[in-house]
Amino acid sequence: MAVKAITEFKGVPHRIEFVKEINGVKWYNDSASSTPSRTISGLNAFHQKVVLIAGGSDKNLDYTPIAKPILDKVKVLVLMGKTSEKIFNAVKEEAEKQKRNIDIYQADSLTQAIILAKRYSRENDVVLFSPASASFDMFKNMYDRGDKFREIINKM
């Protein structure tokens, strides 16, 4: 019985939830990741480079710890929301220290962030929506945010 439960387990909504594969790109909803440490865990779930959509409402968190994992695991970073500047500055500072580059884009909405992620992703890529921030700047809560992400992806 336990083996059956494990093999049939589909995962938890909003936590590295596989949403859909589009043109060889796998889209994941990790809206539950509302802190940098949770997003770092989400990034570590993948072996290949990731197109990351991050940012949201500011809980006065330190984004310095997420900078190195982003440089190590992310090929394109799409930022949105009130924390986008904090995340951008942390990643930019770490990139300068390491003398590395990363493509970073700013979006005004979740829809625009998804459009940018789609534009810069390629076959065999992963797009991970893992905000590292709260949702209250644009959404009712993380569930609403994740549901909207899933809804947009399923319409593509």
What are the residue ranges spanned by the domains of the chain?
Answer: 15-155
Beta carbons of 62 and 36 less than 8 angstroms apart: yes
Tokens encoding 65: 């710890």
Q: What is the mean pLDDT of the chain?
A: 92
Quick one: average pLDDT of 22-32? Answer: 97
pLDDT at 56: 95
What residue has token string 């940098």? 36
SS3 37: helix
Q: What fold characterizes domain 15-155? A: Protein-Tyrosine Phosphatase; Chain A (3.90.190)
Residue 139 — very low, low, confident or very high, per pLDDT cuts 50/70/90? confident
- Reply yes or no on whether the pLDDT at 146 is more than 80: yes
According to DSSP, residue 137 is labeled T
Check residue 9 and give its pLDDT.
46
Select from 100, 91, 124 the least CA-distant residue to 25: 124
Quick one: pLDDT at residue 117? 98
Percentage, residues of the chain above pLDDT 90: 83
Q: Are 122 and 25 in contact (CB under 8 A)?
A: yes
pLDDT at 1: 55
pLDDT of residue 137: 80
pLDDT at residue 8 tops 60: no
18 vs 5: which has the higher pLDDT: 18
Identify the pLDDT of residue 6: 47
Specify the pLDDT at position 140.
86
